[in-house]
Structure 1
Amino acid sequence: MKVVVVDDEKGIVDGLQKMIGRYIPECEIVGVAYSGLEGAKLIQERQPDIVITDIRMPQADGLDMIQLLKEKDCQAKFILLSGYADFEYARRGMQLGVKFYLNKPVEEEELRECVCKVMDEIQEEQAKLQEVDELKQEVSSRVMESALRDIIDGDSDNTAHVDELLQIACIPIDRTQLVCVLLEFESSLGSLMESGLDPVFRLIDHMLGQYRGVYRFRYLGAQVAVIVTHDSAIEYGELVRGFQRLKEALFSKMKLSVTVGLGTVKGRANEISISFEEARHSLSYKILKGAGVVIAYPDIMSMSGKRQAVPEDMISKLEAGLDNMDEGACAGAIREIFHWLEKEREISPVDLQLQCLSILLSSARKLSLEQLQQNDFLGRNLLILDGLSRYRTLERMETWMLQMIKGIIAFKLEHNIMKKKDVIAEIKEYVSKHYADAISLAELSARFFINPYYLSQLFKQKTGDTYLTFLAQTRINKSKELLEKTDLKVYEICQMVGYSDPQYFAKLFEKLTGCKPSEYRRNPPIA
């Protein structure tokens, strides 16, 4: 702690310096003064934490000096040196916020006890300020992360909405170049969750420091999304090399193995979601390229994409095993099929997915579509194949296929099956109950085992609206109900329906209803 001593008696100043140096090693004397005016100037220059000052001094007394400094927003804590006859001075000192006093002559124990109390108060205030700053930063980060999620999962056609979200996320709209990248860690990031992802984020910021803007946040599970922006052209080869260096640094410094999928560079803000979908598609090639590599979208687009079907005799063996309910024969047939697939390394993950779907539908082709829809396990996994990025190797995909075949066999023996709900109806029902939560498209896809991109397309196809539009309308409808039936303040309703930014909520409300929340409350529609 930095200390300044102000007293017109040199002997007292010297004595306090010696006592503090000897008995309070936590403090450092950074200056002394012998009048109030001299003390005020010195304190403004040195910015001490603690000031020990006499009350009675020439030119300006201690209280005049304190008042002058308070007017200049001085944050130091003051200890007044006073005699027993200085009660009126002490009372004025209390009016100025002074809480600490020492009587002359000053005793060593009293000095240490008083200074320690002041230091405790300073540390407590600093801790509270730090807590408030951290809370503000956390709220700001959550608002930014929510906006970024909506941008990358959203509808690229709605330019105005994207611009609003970019402003919330503090991303300048006039940046000329941008690109999205998706990092997938080979661990669950569990070891980092106690301390948070800050070490990873700091390393990302450091390794990509040449770009004007780098925005990163946890996307889904062990994935981290990164948006890179720059106010001049982004050289793609250098960007790929930058992420290669980042991948190596994450492993060497933090022992984290990561696979990186890069989208292409875009020149318009509303193309962020397109670049992100490219990054996610690139990452799906991990099953063919292997884990722990950097995969750029232009590279995977140059692959040939063979479409040769699995030989019919292999499918026939699998069907015979299914007809006989022979799991062993089915397992042998699956192994033979995947041995054949291993030789076809040039096919794309999409084609590989189609091959697997073809195998499973061939295996189940004697079952009706209605029967498939009746079974929750088969319906979800046969009719909605999740992104292949979750399969790290062909061996894992083979294991999954075996589980599906076992499910088909079990289904053939199953009776009294409950009818399965439509997945979009399930999602709409879930959103109507959990609208106040941060339910992004990525989180819904994980909950309902659907690829996010597929879910986005299916939702629009089934409902005519994007998922984000449906969520916004659900929240606004609930806010209208709260405005009509409660006396809650608008900002309270904003938080209750899942928004953290009252200004954004008000804009969205007006956009969807044609009036501001306050106007709606004054003139609700007549039933």
Structure 2
Amino acid sequence: MIRVLLVDDEKEIREGLKKVFPWSDYGIDEVIAADDGDTALQIFRDMRPDILITDIKMNRMSGIECLKHLYNEGFPMGSSIVVSGYDDFDFVKQALQLGVMDYLLKPIRLDELKGVVQRAVDLVRAERLRRFNQDFLENNVKQAMPRIQEQLLQELIKKDNQNQLDSRIRHRLTSVNLDWLLESSVVLLLLEIDNMKAIEQSKRYKHEKELVLFATDNVIVQTLKEESQRQFTIFRDAKDRCVIMLEHTQGEDTTTSLQLAELLIERINKYVKVNVSIGTSAASDKFSKLAMIYNEALETLEHKVIYGGNRVLMTGEHGEDKEFAEIHLSELDALLDLVKYGSEQEIVQQMDEFPELVRTWSYTNIRDIQQKTFEWLLEFFKKASAAGYKDCWWEHNVIALWEQLEQYDTMESLQIQTTRYLMEVSRGFGQLSQSHNQILMTAEQYMKKNYADSLTLQSVAEQVYVTPVWLSKLFKKEKQNTFLEYLTDIRMEKSKDLLGDIRYKIYQISQLVGYKDPVHFAKLFKKTTGMTPKEYRNLRGIQDE
């Protein structure tokens, strides 16, 4: 549809042109008339006609003033035509400077008007075609952009780009709107759906792998948009793991990134109904090191074989145990282990976190805080009772418990009183519980017997009837080692024995000591002994295959 706006303060001229000229022959569907520049300006703003034909001199607002307004407001002048008398050439000159297509002299001759209108219609159609092609191209580029970005990023995580000034890489990142990676420090999160093969083979998800991946990506993007003000990009690696590159502010710790990772797991569990694990990397301020931090996150993610899935696995020295290193008062099972096995000093130190627990409840009224503390204590007492605590006075004195808590109307006094309750339970357990040494001895025996299995902190903790967080804490406290380090030491010692037996290939030994991936086994062996399995064999006089 092509629309024309005719502007002339003489009714006979504008109505005559509107009725006499064969507009439809030129593909023009609608002709609108205006009697002055003011009216024309408003019509132009509201209806955006394609072609403007206006007299230059009119009462009130003239045609040239109308054109100036339209020009200043950014409307295109290319298909505008002005009509003037012989003595209006200065106005015509101004109009041409504004970019109008042509002018006609009065009295208007139809043959001249036909030629000018045809040119204007051709310009309108050419501009529409140009915009269509541009929109088509931009839409194709927009649709292809994620794939182009993914291909480039997949290339960058395969190997380090030592030359940071590589103009080709810089240009490619800029061309796909990833230039922020050139200037920003980056944290990498590597997210993997747990037991994907089992999901693919199940009736529920059979033939729906792509749907699960698509839904997971949507949750990730939506969460990062809502919860983070930082720039990010996500893509899939060669094994369909989701790689998340997140802008990292200089000077900040990794807490924010870890909280985001935990939130991602929570939301994917809730909305996609699958379990996922996330391996993290340290921050890097060099885009040339993307491959390094990717491999770091990948190596960290591999620890889920040891610690179990559906969790955040952190990088760095002892990082794989970090999530189990601290007890939180909201985790009542772990708190119960502390009360059963910990010292009074440890309980008091843990209760220093009570104000932080209260903040998570989002209450400011002391009455609400007292009520929530009351509920929290009742839940803890129930767990203690189920674990063998005998003195269940609170079951018959719930009102008395509430009345006691009501007496304490400050955070400090509530903390002191709840600590007393925990101490009372701790003394009540007395000699009922195993000692630290008994727990660790049982755990060690189980690990030394079952080292070839896919042991996790969770599975071993279940064998000794404590929470993973408490078992992790015991290993660090009593052994000065993390659970993973201790398990690795057991496996490495066994692998040394097996490497002395010529009956076994190195890849077989890897399987026998609990590592499905021989490459990962070789890395751990070299990290522990300073040499590869093959070098170790050669040192013992055995020529490997």
How high is the TM-score relative to the length of structure 1?
0.44
Based on CA coordinates, which of the two structures has the bigger radius of gyration?
A: 2
